[in-house]
Amino acid sequence: MSLVMKFGGSSVATGARLRQVADLVVAARNRRPAVVLSAMGKSTDALFAAGEAARSGDVGTAMERVGTVFASAQAACADLLADAASTRATLDAMRTDLGTLLRGVALLRELTPRTRDAIVAHGERIATTVFAAALRERGVPVAHVDARDWLLTDEVHGGANPARAETALRAARTVAPPLADGAIVVTQGYVGASVGGATTTLGRGGSDWSAALLGEALRAEEVQIWTDVEGVLSADPRVVPEPRPIPVLSPAEAAELAAFGAKVLHPATIQPAVEAGIPVTVRHTLRPTGAFTTIDPRAGRSTRGAVAALACRGPVTVLTMTSTRMLAASGYLARLFAAFGELGICVDLVATAEVSVTCTVEPDAPLEKLAKALAGHATIEVQTDRAIVAAVGDGLVRAPQLLARAAAALHPIVPEITCFGGNDRNLSFVVRQAEVVAAMQRLHAEFFATAPAAATAGQEVAR
């Protein structure tokens, strides 16, 4: 068994941060850690910008953007390494290669997705080069493994899809042996390679996905996601003052929260670990002994029967479609929502009555086209500037007095739609956008006014 430790961009932004990460990794050495790193700080943004500048023919600006990336890396080297000559030489070679790529883009005035991936992947490669050198200076054995040697993807550049079975086989050949020999493995997140060997990137949440894939391949005992928050919080701290870290979430609860706008790991990115029964913990790099959240697939179906967290999303638009033809008419709803499908309109919440259907859609939905498509079938009433407030927790449907408590807490706010989701873990309210802060704060005060008795129970799960 081994441990996968993934560190995000803010965790590795400077030499000081990298030193803290090194402390954490070395402290976990007896658990055979495989370390997955994102690019340092805002390096990825700078590399994207460099590519765009080169495409416009502005090589000077492109190299200036690249210069900021390498300046940060060189500063980290100066801070971390007593002997940085070898690492500086490696970074200089990367910078030369990157310059060649960017000048080629500028010459052709063309930036293909494949070339963009090759440019952007330098961020993670730089971070792991510096970090591996920092670990070696501490006298610990290190294996710096290129992610392109183990993470196989398709050829969809900028949003590649991993080939999980082949990735597991490759990781068994390239990552598992040095771990077995006692080395700390350092590798890149976000970056992979196609069958033909071209560099690819996984897109948004790619480093988390890389960590989950590596955890699955290694049959790890835990995947740790180190970031700048103490786990998943009970509400958005920009909306609710002093929200609580949630000790344990089921994968289904985490997915539900993500769907309603909470800052949670994207369900798809951690799915490989979840399917392998591996707990995923979300931890604060600067507060390693503080609270954290375990997304735990091992406990099976939870019977929490209480609110785990609140989330909100808005603005949304509320549509109410009314027609007397709906009453006792077979297939009416199918015809109604076929128009939504043809226009690519996604629906969130749905409530029905005898002759009407109410649903929420994104504010940029093509409503004029929808009205034309439904002409003769239904009239549409539109209400804009609404928001969804969702209470999430496994077993909410079975929680006594939950709805009554929520309604009393919201008073005098009157929800325009109240909806238990198509599962037992979601109670959602649609309110005016201007009321969302008050609604979140009142619900949070109701359901999180006192610390839960099991506030620390989840902390033992992943130890």
Cα–Cα distance for residue pair 44/367, rounded to 1 Å: 37
Cα–Cα distance for residue pair 2/211, rounded to 1 Å: 12
Instruction: Report the mean per-residue pLDDT for the chain.
Output: 91
Where residue 457 falls among pLDDT bands split at 50, 70, 90? Answer: very low
Q: Give the pLDDT confidence of 100-117 residue by residue, as tens digits.
A: 999 999 999 999 999 999
Where residue 302 falls among pLDDT bands split at 50, 70, 90? Answer: low
Burial of residue 301, with CB atoms counted within 10 A of its CB: 0-12 exposed, 13-18 middle, 19 or more buried: exposed
pLDDT winner (highest mean) among 78-82, 374-378, 419-423: 78-82
Residue 225 identity: I
- Picking from 17-21, 170-174, 375-379, 380-384, which range would have the lowest pLDDT averaged per residue? 375-379
pLDDT at 295 over 90: yes
Q: Give the pLDDT confidence of 257-278 residue by residue, as tens digits.
A: 888 877 777 888 899 999 999 9
User: Looking at residue 222, what is its pLDDT?
Assistant: 97
Where residue 24 falls among pLDDT bands split at 50, 70, 90? Answer: very high
Single pTM value for the model: 0.87
Mean pLDDT of 333-352: 90
Q: Could you give all domains of the chain from N- to C-terminal order, each with its CATH number?
A: 3-228 (3.40.1160.10), 309-448 (3.30.2130.10)
Q: Are 282 and 293 in contact (CB under 8 A)?
A: yes
pLDDT above 90 covers what percent of the chain?
A: 77
- How many other CB atoms are found less than 10 A from the CB of residue 237? 12
Mean pLDDT of 223-237: 91
Mean pLDDT of 222-234: 92
pLDDT at 454 over 60: no
Strand order in the sheet with 426-432: 347-352, 356-361, 309-322, 379-392, 426-432, 417-420
Helix H or strand E encompassing 116: helix 113-120
Six token digits for residue 94: 């990367």
pLDDT at 462 over 70: no
Cα–Cα distance for residue pair 230/290, rounded to 1 Å: 7
In 3D, which of 398, 288, 221 has the Cα closest to residue 23?
288
Q: Give the pLDDT confidence of 189-220 residue by residue, as tens digits.
A: 999 999 999 999 998 889 999 999 999 999 99
Where residue 459 falls among pLDDT bands split at 50, 70, 90? Answer: very low
Q: Give the pLDDT confidence of 110-151 residue by residue, as tens digits.
A: 999 999 999 999 999 999 999 999 999 999 999 999 999 999
Where residue 301 falls among pLDDT bands split at 50, 70, 90? Answer: low
Where residue 303 falls among pLDDT bands split at 50, 70, 90? Answer: low
Query: Three-class SS of residue 187?
Result: strand
Place of tokens 């309210």: 429
User: Looking at residue 398, what is its pLDDT?
Assistant: 80
First to last CA, the chain: 13
State CA 358 to chain mean position distance. Answer: 30
Mean pLDDT of 378-383: 91
Where residue 300 falls among pLDDT bands split at 50, 70, 90? Answer: low
Q: Give the pLDDT confidence of 399-439 residue by residue, as tens digits.
A: 878 999 999 999 999 999 998 877 888 999 999 999 999 99
Q: Give the pLDDT confidence of 239-254 residue by residue, as tens digits.
A: 999 899 899 999 989 9
Measured on CA atoms in the order 257, 259, 260, 261, is the torsion positive or negative? positive
